[in-house]
A and B are shown apart, each in its own frame.
Chain A
């Protein structure tokens, strides 16, 4: 087995694994990283196919620039936004996979037997890969190159126009926001003041700890929705039980009259149930 074939087999297997990861990872960041795996392995295969310039460009342009841009946008739009798996068209997934298998079959039939049995190789054409490519790009392909460079100038202008749009709605003044709060209080009974603080317990005081109401129930508005989205809300009842146990161990006696109700009894709204889940 030649070294070239070895590179192809190993990197090809990793590239297919990365492509499968792109299909199956739920989080967009993981998908982006598995795409990076595909890109790097394709670069190695390019190098094995005597395309030194393209291998370097693959690493620098794709893995370096394009995937960083992807990660940037993923950070911008919220790293943990879950993808809904509800199918708007019933059976779409199954049909898509069947279509994929069919396309693969067609492509394989088209490919098999259509290549020359022995590759010519690039030793003759490749008198120094970069020099030969430069002679082609600035020789017979010079007009295509000029058009491509015009495209590269126009595309960032388009991106700037798209990204720097005007505000969709006018910015609300302080007076308008105060009026909206009072109106919400009048109509729906929403408390017009500030939201409650997050909780402070003996063991934890992060913003993931919900505050407790006087009756011992948790206050749903004391933790940010971002914490709920990330499943990061601390179960304060479990923490308080743990604290009570610690105290009991230290003092050697059962602590008196600690509020230790069952968590289910504490929870009386659907929101709280979801928080504590």
Chain B
């Protein structure tokens, strides 16, 4: 398998995640799109490891996975605490800092 194709798939997934972040309004779905972007970066790291015949890319992907788990825990608790005070998960609703 040509690693170039895997990199193209990773690019497509990354762009879909980025577009999702821009067009969706639900904070939870936006967070899922961020996870998709992290996953596409992981896929790229794994395909680099395969292309260059060294395992460092896989170690990096492993660390990305751990950081993503920590990020999800904190991010979801932020979403829940915003929901507790504002009763919404829409990213348009918290606008107290707007003039």
Contact = CB atoms under 8 A, between A and B. Distances in A.
A4 B89 contact: no
A91 B48 CA distance: 38
Contacts of A155: 69-71, 73-74
Nearest to A154: B70
A99 B53 CA distance: 34
A66 B35 contact: yes
A219 interface: no
Interface residue SS majority, chain A: helix
B59 A137 contact: yes
B4 A23 contact: no
Nearest to A73: B76
Interface residues of B, number: 72
A165 B77 CA distance: 11
A16 B80 contact: no
Contact of B49 (A51, A73, A93): A51
A149 to B, nearest CB: 8
Interface in A156-202: 156, 158-160, 162-163, 165, 168
Interface in B36-90: 36, 39, 42-43, 46-47, 49-56, 58-59, 61-63, 65-74, 76-81, 83-85, 88-90
A255 interface: no
A65 B69 contact: yes
Interface in A251-268: none
Contacts of A45: 6, 9, 43, 46
Nearest to B88: A81
Contacts of A39: 39
Contacts of A15: 9, 13
A17 B6 CA distance: 16
B77 A162 contact: yes
Given A19-B16, A84-B92, A115-B4, A107 B11 contact: yes
Contact of B28 (A73, A103, A117): A73
Interface in A32-47: 32, 35, 38-39, 42, 45-46
A158 B40 CA distance: 27
B24 A66 contact: no
Interface of B: 1-9, 11-20, 22-26, 28-29, 31-33, 35-36, 39, 42-43, 46-47, 49-56, 58-59, 61-63, 65-74, 76-81, 83-85, 88-90, 92
Given A23-B16, A70-B32, A115-B51, 12 more contacts: A8-B1, A16-B13, A61-B69, A77-B80, A104-B12, A111-B4, A111-B7, A111-B11, A122-B50, A125-B53, A151-B70, A165-B81
